[in-house]
Each structure stands twice: as structure tokens, then as C-alpha cells.
Structure 1
Amino acid sequence: MKLTVFGATGGVGRHVVRQALDSGHEVTAVVRDPARLPVPAHPRLQVLTIPDLTHHEPLLPAVTGRDAVISAVGPSSNAQARTTHIAGTALRAIVTAMDQAGVRRLSAVSAAPVGPVAEGEGPLTRAVVFPLLRRALRDTYADLAAMEEAISASDTGWTVVRPPKLTDKPHTGTYRRVIGGNVPGGMTISRADVADALLTCLDDPATEGHVVGIAT
């Protein structure tokens, strides 16, 4: 498969690039700074430097002729940028470029607190943990909610993956998954396993047009 990965230098994105190459895919990694991509040169890896993801025209070369797109774009760590919903703006540009290039399949990472509390979740998480997270990181989750809105309003065959707290533990490929909701009691998952989920969903038609909760 020919894949384009946005957010390729991030904590999840770099794992997506590595795992996609290991699985035999051709990868176009879109980066702001190629020096930050910790993946060695590879005959099936193309690195494109595109500093600005807010307009679709510069993104067309990155998605044209590709089979699918993976977005590991996350909210900005800059407070001023967060108020502009940078992830939402980027995904609107990405899906517009995909539409013009005729690329349909999209897998994107979001976060569990953007969605509703999982059915069967414990009262502590329901009444305390999620409300505190949403209050403390309201700008971050507002940005991700804007991103999900842009994706769901698009004509792409999309899947949104919602993980809980991310860790740097190794890739296992073993985690729980709930289509259409969050994982009850799901507190953490490794960035490497999030990358696994983003890639796996591309080949799973059951996830198309749905959010997918994942957790260990």
C-alpha cells in the first residue's frame, strides 16, 4: 500500500512510519523539519517538508497517487495556536487535498476524552477523572473535537482512533478495541500500539465511518 503519514515526527507518527515500512508499505512522511524524523533512509520512504498544513494546495503532492492517509497530527503545544484549533484546521486541509486527489481512506488519531465515557466505566472515572481531564485540557480537547468534526463531515472513508494516556512502552500489537466507543477501564496504551491501530484500521472495513476506542 502507498501511504502518506502526516505528523510523522511526532511520538505516534514516527512509530507509524517505522511499522509501515516494516510491513512492506511505501511511505510518504510529511514533516516540518526532516531532521526530527528518527527513521533511517529507506528505499520505500519519501520525506516531504511541508511547514504549513493549514492550506490544501501544498498538500496535494503528498497525497496524489496514494492509497490511504494516516494523520498523527496532534494539538499544538503552543497556547495561542491551540485557540485556533490547529489540528482541526490541518485536517480540513488534508481531507480537501484528499478529495481533490481522489484518495479516500483516512485513519486519524484523536483522544479518548473527546468521546463519551465508556459504558460500564467505573464511577470514579465517570464522575472525577474524565471531568478533571476535560477541564484541565479543554483547549486540547476542543482542538481534537474540531479535528473530528472536520473528518466526519468529509467524504473520506475515515476512521478516528481514540486512545487514553500514551506511554513509551514497546509495541505489542495486543490491546483492546471498541468500535463506536471507548474501552471500559482503559487507562493507557503505548504510542507504538496506537500506530499499530492506525495501520490495522486501514484494512478493516468494519472501522470505516466510526471512532475506535483502544487501550491495553
Structure 2
Amino acid sequence: MKLTVFGATGGIGQEIVRQALGAGHEVTAVVRDPARLAVTGPGLEVFRADLTDPAAVRPAVAGRDVVLSGLGARGRKDAGVAARLTRTVLGAMEAEGVRRLLVVSAMPVGPAAEGDGMLDRAMRGIVFALLKDVYVDLSAMEAEIARSATDWTVVRPPRLQDKPVTGVYRSVVGGFPRKGRFIGRADVAHAMLVMAGDAGTVKQGVGVAY
């Protein structure tokens, strides 16, 4: 497949690029600073852009099969980034007629897992309160995506870890895995690449966790 990856210098974004290249896909990595992209290899195109103008981003998505995004705030000071930059991506995709989109959101934005006890629900509320601005931003991003004409999938992980890819995790379409508290960034990337070809995840939020 021909893939475009936004947020390609982030923890999940770089893993998407690395694993996609390893699987033989052609990858366009959209970055602000090419020096921060540690991944190289045949099939990789690096596209420099600051994501302020959908017209400038159009060449990065033109003719692609799938767009994957790891865009998002790195902390409360960056709140608002996810919705704003994703709006640019959506505009470029609409202009080029590219439909398949997968993005990273977060567990607290989606529905609670069925059967979660009081402790899990309490922890969820505490996490949301501590990073409220970030999650409000992600909620706005999800709303923008839901209104779009894309065939979208929103992937919602819990607390992220730096671990090697395992390919062993749980996923729940329209919900979240019970007692799912952690997942590695590499496995979030793995899940997104698997879901890229899964019609059952189109226009769905998907919870992923160990």
C-alpha cells in the first residue's frame, strides 16, 4: 500500500513508519524537522510541512491508499494542536479524494470498558481531570473526524509505554478492553496498520490495550 504518516517523528508515528517499511509499504512521512526522523530505508519519502495550509499538504496525500496520524499534544501546553492540525489533514484528504484515515486519540475520550469496577472508573476520572485540556482537544479532534467524509478509525490507547512490538494486545471496536491500563507505542502502531485493512473498524472508535 501507499501510506502517508502525519506526526511521523513522534513515538507512535516513527513506529508506524518503521513497521510499514518493514512490511514493504511505500511510506510518505510528513514532518516539520526531517532531522528528528530516525527511520530510513527503501520506500520512504520525507515530506517537510508545518501543517498550517491544507493546500501545501495535498501532495503528501495525493494518490495514497491510507493516511495514518499520530498528531497530538505532548502536554497541556500543546492542547489544541490535535484538532487544529487534523483539520488541515482532513482538508487535504478531501481535496485529493483520499478516504481512509486512522488517528490516535486516547482511552479517556471514549466509552469506559464494560465491567470496569469503581477503581478503574475512578482512575479514569482522575486522569481526565489532570489532563483535561488535552482530552478536550482530542474530543474536538474526534468530532471533526466524525463529521468528515473520510472512512475513519479512531484508535484509543491507555497509558503508553516504550516497549518492542509484540503484536499481542486486545482491541474492542466501539469500546475498550476491560482492565486495559497500558500498551506499548510500537503495538499501537501495529494495531493501526492491521486496522488499515479492516473494514470492520471503519467509522469506529477502537480501544487497544494489553
Query: Which TM-score applies when normalising by structure 1?
Result: 0.95
* C-alpha contact (below 8 Å) 1:76/1:87 kept by paired residues: no
SS at 1:12's partner residue? helix
Paired with 1:3 and 1:57, the residues of 2 have a C-alpha distance of 19
Query: Which TM-score applies when normalising by structure 2?
Result: 0.97
Offset of 1:131 from its aligned partner? 1.0
| The one of 180, 203, 206 aligned to 2:174 | 180
Paired with 1:211 and 1:178, the residues of 2 have a C-alpha distance of 9
Offset of 1:16 from its aligned partner? 0.2
Aligned counterpart, 1:48 = 47
Paired with 1:25 and 1:203, the residues of 2 have a C-alpha distance of 13
Q: CA RMSD in A?
A: 1.0
Aligned counterpart, 2:8 = 8
In structure 2, the CA distance between the partners of 1:92 and 1:210, relative to structure 1 (3 Å rule), is same
CA deviation string 1:122-163 (max 9, x = no partner): 21111x201111110001101111111111110000000000
Aligned counterpart, 2:71 = 73
Aligned counterpart, 1:58 = 56
Paired with 1:47 and 1:152, the residues of 2 have a C-alpha distance of 28
* Alignment size in residue pairs: 210
Aligned counterpart, 1:29 = 29
Runs of 4+ in 1 over 3 A off after TM superposition: none
Paired with 1:183 and 1:75, the residues of 2 have a C-alpha distance of 24
SS at 2:179's partner residue? coil
User: Where does structure 2 lack aligned partners over 5 or more consecutive residues?
Assistant: none
Paired with 1:91 and 1:215, the residues of 2 have a C-alpha distance of 24
Paired with 1:76 and 1:151, the residues of 2 have a C-alpha distance of 20
Which letter does structure 2 place at the counterpart of 1:20?
A
| The one of 135, 139, 142 aligned to 1:145 | 139
